[in-house]
Amino acid sequence: MRAPAGLRLDYLSAAEYRAAQGADVLGIASFSGPTTQVAPGGGEIPVAAVSMPQLLGSPEVYEVWRSGEPVESGRRERVRFRRSVDLLFGCIALAESEVDGGRAAQGHSALQTVTDQAYREICATLDAVGYPHLLRVWNYLPDINRDSQGTERYRLFNQARHEALRACGRALNGNVAAASALGAASGSPLVVYFLASPTAPTFIENPRQVSAYSYPREYGSHAPVFSRATLLRQRDRVLLFISGTASIVGHRSIHVGDTAAQTRETLANIAALLGEANRVESAARFSLRSLAFKAYLRRPGDLPAIRAQLERALESDSRVIYLQADICRQDLLVEIEATGMCPLKIDA
């Protein structure tokens, strides 16, 4: 049976995916490491393989994005993508080990080099195929908190992303995609996957937080380039993409060392974003219990505390996956992102 039109997100085991696969799959992110062929015909589907272990349930999980509509596959340079009329899923993976020493000798690290290349190829692909508006971007880079050339690698990533987007004529504040940046396993490639549209989304900020692109220089020479959330109307529904969110109020980390309190503060920030989304898009009503969540834990041993807070706030059947990952700030123990699809209220 054909799925109803409109974007859909599922978290599935490999067996569940094989049982439920359909021709409308836009793309897949796999978690646990280099992926195998996940299904017949999977060679046409872009798969972002992230080296990041799942902490609960199946050791291998697939994040499956469906369109409910016919799709076509394509490739431009090293970007693989699949698109429907309204949406495009794409991914790229670049290994730092493949960078020659020439660029590094000019003051650029291997991470900066592959970040620059990835974002330039993504922007060129989207412009070439007519889906110029980035909605949501996921960035997974190894050793995110390690120092390199006297600077934390996350800050080097932010600098390279900033410079690549500027070179491509992209906005650096305000109208920028929702995004996450997490630390994957050492030795893994930089993996970036994304959703894009021919239509510009609405960009949402959190009244409890300083916008990430306006962070003071104490967090690095180049601020992170992302909005706290984006909204996109899609015929009879509204899509909500909430960026990686943590225990930050204003621009400062709070509840340092307290995992349960950080989780509660993170959920308060997500609730504030839902309030803003519902204010901006009055025809939709998002709630915490209507979202699909991805929770990143710095320490696997914190799973019971974080899970207890989420289960207290959500329905028992809410879609949540738990992954072990380093967070962009070393004093943060948990980061949570969310996605929602809400039917529009259509007056008779």
Assess if residue 2 is contained within a domain: no
Would 1 be classed as within a structural domain? Answer: no
Catalytic position from the list 205, 265, 335, 337:
335
Give the CATH number, domain containing residue 157.
3.30.1330.40
Across 195-201, average pLDDT: 97
| pLDDT range class, residue 4, cuts 50, 70, 90 | low
In a domain, 242, yes or no: yes
- Per-residue pLDDT averaged across 129-151, rounded? 96
pLDDT band at 346, cuts 50/70/90?
low
pLDDT above 50 (res 72)? yes
For residue 31, the SS3 value is strand
Rounded Cα distance between 125 and 74, Å, is 10
335 noted as active-site residue = yes
Residue 348 lies in a domain: no
Q: Of 152-166, 256-270, 278-292, where does mean pLDDT reach its minimum?
A: 278-292
The pLDDT assigned to 36 comes to 46
Going by DSSP bridges, is the β-strand pair 25-31/61-66 parallel, antiparallel, or unpaired?
Answer: antiparallel
Domain for residue 218, yes or no? Answer: yes
Q: pLDDT tier at 19 (50, 70, 90 boundaries)?
A: confident
**Would you state the pLDDT for residue 42?**
53
pTM of the shown model: 0.94
Supply the pLDDT for residue 40: 42
Contact 172, 224 (CB under 8 A): no
Q: For residue 294, give the H/E element and its range.
A: strand 292-297
Other CB atoms within a 10 A radius of the CB of residue 292 amount to 18
For residue 249, tell me if it sits in a domain: yes
Q: What pLDDT shows up at residue 174?
A: 95
Q: How many domains does the chain have?
A: 1
323 within a domain of the structure (yes/no): yes
What is the share, in percent, of the chain residues with pLDDT greater than 90?
79
As a whole number, mean pLDDT of residues 263-275 equals: 98
- Asked if pLDDT for residue 290 goes beyond 70, the answer is yes
Q: Is the pLDDT of residue 86 over 90?
A: yes
Structural domain that includes position 146 = 8-343
Render the burial of 131-168: b for 16+ CB within 10 Å, e for the rest: bebbbbbbbbbbbbeeeeeeebbbbbbbbbbbbbbeee
- 192 assigned to some structural domain: yes
User: What whole-number distance in Å separates Cα of residue 133 and Cα of residue 131?
Assistant: 6
Classify the phi-psi angles of 169: left when phi > 0, otherwise alpha if psi is within -120 to 50, otherwise beta: left
Q: Measuring CA to CA, which residue among 67, 7, 60, 69 is closest to residue 37? A: 60
pLDDT of amino acid 284: 85
Q: Which residue has the higher pLDDT, 316 or 341?
A: 341
